[in-house]
Chains A and B, each alone.
Chain A
Amino acid sequence: MRHLLSIEDLDRPGIERILDRAKSFTEVSEREVKKVPALRGRRVLNLFYEASTRTRSSFELAAKTLSAEVINFVSSGSSVEKGESLKDTVQTLSAYRPDLIVVRTPYVGAAELVARWSPAAVINAGDGKHEHPTQALLDVHTLRERLGALDGLSIWIVGDVLHSRVARSNIQAFTMLGAKVTVCGPPTLIPRGVEALGCDVRYTLDGLDEADVVYALRMQKERMTESFVPSLREYAARYQIDGRRLGARQVLMHPGPVNRGVELAAEVIDSPQALIGQQVAAGVVVRMAVLYELLAGRTAPDRQLVTA
């Protein structure tokens, strides 16, 4: 695997190989000196066109734990429009000779473009509403740690599926590992044709008790002004996961950041069923494993593209 642009770049054995390695990295974080030399001398460039706290810091921590050099290039979404095109930015930054670029943009397919325009390996850390493959991997890792295998699990993904790159990557990853996925939300926030990804569609939480895993998505406030839902109050009344709806045997996940009192009630966030903290912790080891997968044992990328 040269890049990780989409969860479709992986198959089940590939996911399992990466997550087995992530598990072996867990021990590193528990050491006093949290560093191994696996990627010493390698250069990782974080190129973020969108605000991000946990994804960027998690990639940075992962790279540094593996002893790679990290450069952060953070830009507001508008700088593309203001001047330099994405292509020029990527080609300019490629002159720093990064071995790997972690890229987040608000645009579908932008990570693929970065991979085309730079000789570096590329990890998609979110491209618009398209995909966020390392989130899917860390979610699978979290579930494997808690529940063992995913085979036969029923996983409900609840909320704003339409605008969610997490949902798109997770539906595919969960399905690939043998789970049965149901997406649930108001009809205005379920994309037409989403069944093609291999999931069932529900518009109410009736039947949620069949789920082994409840995965709530972030509900963005601006969806209300765009009339996707009439009000957050009504949305919360029908789709909020609270102590009444979450059964004792179910586990709860969320990609963060949480809108307390909208998609999740406070009592479930703080309950022992919530794996939200574990997801964040898994982020570091899983990203270490992905960096390792893409860089270890690979020679520096061909420079022809940069000089051409």
Chain B
Amino acid sequence: MNAARPGKRGAEPLLHREQPPADLLIRAAHVLDPRGDLDAPHDVLVRGGVIAEIGAPGSLDAPEGAEVLEGEGRHLFPGFVDPHVHLRVPGQEHKEDLDSGTRAAAAGGFVAVVAMPNTDPVVDDASVLRSLREAARREARIPVGFLAAITRGLAGDALTEMAELSDTGALGFTDDGKPVHRAAILRKALQYQRLCGGVLALHEEDPSLSGAGAMHEGEVSARLGLAGIPSISESTMIARDAAIAGYEQGRIHIQHLSARESVEAIAEAKARGVQISGEASPHHLCLTHEAIRERLDTRLKMNPPLRAESDRQALIEGLRDGTIDCIATDHAPHAREEKEVPFEEAPMGTTGLETSFAAIYTELVVPGVLPLGLVVERLSAGAALMGLATPRIAVGETAALCLLDLAAEWQVGEAGYESRSENCCFAGHMLRGRVLATVAAGSVVYRERAFALTAA
């Protein structure tokens, strides 16, 4: 991707393996860069991994040795950036690893992802982070950044060595998977943020309210007899943490918003001037707890849970009006045997990298709920929140692009997954919008199989 952010002692924020720079002519694709003024068919020439020229359709010639991608009737977007994925390394490579996780990301049109530290061991000291970054430099197909834990072992008791972790290359900090339940610890982390920078990304949940809940508390949980996770378990913690962040003038990012009350809490905090941002996941934007009533499928079990239609509508509205800054998948792979158990026993999480754009495009853009440009913008807006450069389609930029066929219809899971795991909540859904090719950090990192054959 683009130049590293002004580094703490030079640690580059994103890592990936060496791949040959692309020489590509993408011909006559409809180029849409919502942050620029591009929204029309163009030829885009990439030379040595850098966008060299953008011209009228049919105006550019492919130089010697350059690959030509036929873009007519297709769309070219700035590549997506996911600020919230679980790559499961180190320790849970049976669920996912850096290669398979970044392959899944590339197949979803992503050009950078940010991995969470709730691994085994937890990324809570510099040596773990250092070796993880080394592994990413060898294995990651697209650039990967890492958040480190806020507290040691995610136990919520003691701060990690945040400054050293930051110097080692942590983009920020999170205890994702768990809340920072003690207010005083969060306050100290916000104080430390003044020293070491980096975002504090927060999983908001009051465990005394969520308890052993397995799904959203409401009509469906009442009917199924499943313990519920009430919306207030999320929203009350957001309100608390926004107050602490405001007091300390720190910056917080709220992960995987799920409830109407949470969107309201963020809107109120923003109105007060708190430096707070938020993300919503494709599954919370597209599905509700009714899906669990139809089929008690463990792929639909995630934390926070799928909630009611009014919550989904509030998330859509929040995304539209900017209360919610970006879309993040919370890609959370789990092995088949872990999910092939009774619902209450199953681990929380759904994969999402390969379906994020298509799910939102099918459920929200095609029916006219959200404009395409806004969705494309929100799918890379997480970059800036993590201190990363935002992909742009402009001459001189390192190529970070995805080419899609918006008309292509496909069934999720019909041809398997690039991810090592198959716990996708959209499994079986017919979706529209297929990623044909992805260029990340100036290299072609993904070609859809049928497209690669016709292009050859």
B101 at the interface (CB under 8 A from A): no
- How far, in whole Å, are A196 and B341 apart by their CA atoms in the complex? 27
Chain B residues contacting A130 (CB-CB under 8 Å) are 224-226
Chain B residues contacting A131 (CB-CB under 8 Å) are 225
Chain A residues contacting B172 (CB-CB under 8 Å) are none
> Shortest CB–CB separation between residue B69 and chain A, in angstroms?
43
- How far, in whole Å, are A191 and B337 apart by their CA atoms in the complex? 31
Contact of A107 among B221, B222, B340, B344 (CB under 8 A): B344
- Contact, CB under 8 Å: A196 / B342: no
Contact of B225 among A80, A86, A128 (CB under 8 A): A128
Chain A residues contacting B217 (CB-CB under 8 Å) are 192-193
- Contact, CB under 8 Å: B342 / A193: no
Chain B residues contacting A105 (CB-CB under 8 Å) are 342
Chain B residues contacting A112 (CB-CB under 8 Å) are 296
Contact of B226 among A80, A108, A110 (CB under 8 A): A108
Complex interface residues of chain A between 50 and 108 (CB less than 8 A to chain B):
80, 85-87, 105, 107-108
> Shortest CB–CB separation between residue B423 and chain A, in angstroms?
15
- Contact, CB under 8 Å: B296 / A197: no
Chain A residues contacting B221 (CB-CB under 8 Å) are 191-193
- Contact, CB under 8 Å: B223 / A108: no
Contact of A128 among B218, B341, B344 (CB under 8 A): B344
> Shortest CB–CB separation between residue A165 and chain B, in angstroms?
6
- How far, in whole Å, are A131 and B225 apart by their CA atoms in the complex? 8
Contact of B344 among A87, A108, A165, A196 (CB under 8 A): A108
- How far, in whole Å, are A191 and B340 apart by their CA atoms in the complex? 27
B409 at the interface (CB under 8 A from A): no
- Contact, CB under 8 Å: B224 / A108: yes
- How far, in whole Å, are A197 and B337 apart by their CA atoms in the complex? 33
Complex interface residues of chain A between 23 and 49 (CB less than 8 A to chain B):
none
Name A169's closest neighbour in chain B (CB-CB).
B225
Chain A residues contacting B344 (CB-CB under 8 Å) are 107-108, 128
The answer to whether residues A192 and B225 also contact, given A105-B342, A107-B344, A110-B342 and a CB cut-off of 8 A, is no
B53 at the interface (CB under 8 A from A): no
The answer to whether residues A108 and B296 also contact, given A193-B219, A197-B223 and a CB cut-off of 8 A, is yes
Name B227's closest neighbour in chain A (CB-CB).
A129
Chain A residues contacting B224 (CB-CB under 8 Å) are 108-109, 130
Name A171's closest neighbour in chain B (CB-CB).
B223
B343 at the interface (CB under 8 A from A): yes
B179 at the interface (CB under 8 A from A): no
A194 at the interface (CB under 8 A from B): yes
- How far, in whole Å, are A155 and B382 apart by their CA atoms in the complex? 55
B61 at the interface (CB under 8 A from A): no
Q: Which one of B222, B226, B341 has the greatest number of beta carbons of chain A within 10 Å?
A: B222
- Contact, CB under 8 Å: A108 / B222: no
The answer to whether residues A129 and B342 also contact, given A192-B217, A193-B219, A196-B219 and a CB cut-off of 8 A, is no
Q: Which one of B218, B225, B337 has the greatest number of beta carbons of chain A within 10 Å?
A: B225
> Shortest CB–CB separation between residue A130 and chain B, in angstroms?
4
> Shortest CB–CB separation between residue A87 and chain B, in angstroms?
6
**Contact flags A168-196 to B (C-beta < 8 A → 1, else 0):** 10000000000000000000000111111
A305 at the interface (CB under 8 A from B): no
- Contact, CB under 8 Å: A109 / B343: yes
Name A107's closest neighbour in chain B (CB-CB).
B342
A147 at the interface (CB under 8 A from B): no
Chain B residues contacting A108 (CB-CB under 8 Å) are 214, 224-226, 296, 342-344
Chain B residues contacting A149 (CB-CB under 8 Å) are none
A237 at the interface (CB under 8 A from B): no
A224 at the interface (CB under 8 A from B): no
- How far, in whole Å, are A210 and B455 apart by their CA atoms in the complex? 76
Name A190's closest neighbour in chain B (CB-CB).
B222
- Contact, CB under 8 Å: A107 / B225: no
Name A87's closest neighbour in chain B (CB-CB).
B340
- Contact, CB under 8 Å: A191 / B342: no
A113 at the interface (CB under 8 A from B): yes
- How far, in whole Å, are A108 and B228 apart by their CA atoms in the complex? 13
- Contact, CB under 8 Å: B218 / A129: no
Contact of B222 among A109, A128, A197 (CB under 8 A): A197
> Shortest CB–CB separation between residue A164 and chain B, in angstroms?
8
**Contact flags B329-346 to A (C-beta < 8 A → 1, else 0):** 000000001001111110
Chain A residues contacting B337 (CB-CB under 8 Å) are 85
- Contact, CB under 8 Å: A196 / B343: no
The answer to whether residues A192 and B218 also contact, given A109-B296, A128-B225 and a CB cut-off of 8 A, is yes
- Contact, CB under 8 Å: A165 / B225: yes
- Contact, CB under 8 Å: A196 / B225: no
- Contact, CB under 8 Å: A191 / B222: yes
**Contact flags A253-269 to B (C-beta < 8 A → 1, else 0):** 00000000000000000
- How far, in whole Å, are A80 and B344 apart by their CA atoms in the complex? 13
Chain A residues contacting B340 (CB-CB under 8 Å) are 85, 87
Name A164's closest neighbour in chain B (CB-CB).
B225
The answer to whether residues A168 and B343 also contact, given A191-B228, A192-B228 and a CB cut-off of 8 A, is no
- How far, in whole Å, are A129 and B341 apart by their CA atoms in the complex? 16
- How far, in whole Å, are A192 and B145 apart by their CA atoms in the complex? 41
- Contact, CB under 8 Å: A109 / B219: no
- Contact, CB under 8 Å: B342 / A109: yes
Complex interface residues of chain B between 199 and 227 (CB less than 8 A to chain A):
214, 217-227
> Shortest CB–CB separation between residue A189 and chain B, in angstroms?
12
- How far, in whole Å, are A102 and B223 apart by their CA atoms in the complex? 22
- Contact, CB under 8 Å: B341 / A86: yes
| Interface residues, chain A, with chain B CB atoms under 8 Å away | 80, 85-87, 105, 107-110, 112-113, 128-131, 165, 168, 191-197
A-B contact pairs, 21 of them (CB 8 A): A80-B345, A85-B341, A86-B342, A105-B342, A107-B344, A107-B345, A108-B296, A108-B344, A112-B296, A128-B225, A128-B226, A128-B344, A130-B224, A168-B223, A191-B221, A192-B228, A193-B220, A193-B222, A194-B222, A196-B222, A197-B222
| Interface residues, chain B, with chain A CB atoms under 8 Å away | 214, 217-228, 230, 296, 337, 340-345
Seed contacts A108-B225, A112-B296; 4 additional CB < 8 Å A-B pairs: A87-B340, A130-B225, A191-B228, A193-B217
Q: Shortest 5 CB-CB distances between A and B: which pairs?
A: A107-B342, A129-B225, A193-B219, A196-B219, A109-B296
